[in-house]
Copies of this chain bind each other. A is one copy, B any other.
Amino acid sequence: MSNASLTSLANDLRHACQRVSRRVRFEATAELPPHQVSALWNLQHKTLTPGELAEAERVSAPSMTKTVNCLVEKGLVARADHPDDGRCKVLTLTPAGETVLREVGQVRNDWMAGLLQGLSKEERAVLRQATDLLNQVLEN
């Protein structure tokens, strides 16, 4: 593949991903602000300290304190003392948090499924392959 067509693939694919992302955000509106959903997302299947969560979200520590406060008040996240290091806290998703996250995902995925509704079996197979490729390169 030529350099020119790599460039144009990169441009077009980036735009397509951003369009999907943008429309998911706008059309599959959640009951929670995006940054709170995003924070919850990071706590799926694992516990993190506030510092780790701030780093994952590329946000300052004080910002994350506020976000976490809000999520704790809503009962979506539990904040406990760290067993070994008294300076740290440990954040985990509560059952309510898991439920909210599941519901938000559901709305977004329903929207996405609607988008793909009219495609043929072959076209969906192409998208499946592409999805796997994207996830593969995103690991790096």
Query: Which residues of A does B touch, CB under 8 Å?
Result: 1, 5-7, 9-24, 26, 58, 105, 108-110, 112-113, 115-119, 121, 123-135, 137-138, 140
Contact = CB atoms under 8 A, between A and B. Distances in A.
A28 to B, nearest CB: 9
Given A113-B6, A116-B6, A137-B119, A127 B20 contact: no
15 contacts: A6-B113, A6-B124, A9-B131, A10-B109, A14-B24, A14-B108, A14-B112, A17-B18, A17-B21, A17-B134, A18-B24, A115-B138, A118-B137, A126-B133, A130-B131
5 closest A-B pairs by CB? A130-B130, A21-B21, A10-B113, A17-B20, A10-B112
B121 A11 contact: no
Copies of chain A in the complex: 2
Given A18-B21, A118-B137, 12 more contacts: A1-B124, A10-B115, A12-B131, A13-B112, A16-B17, A16-B134, A16-B138, A17-B17, A21-B21, A21-B22, A115-B137, A127-B134
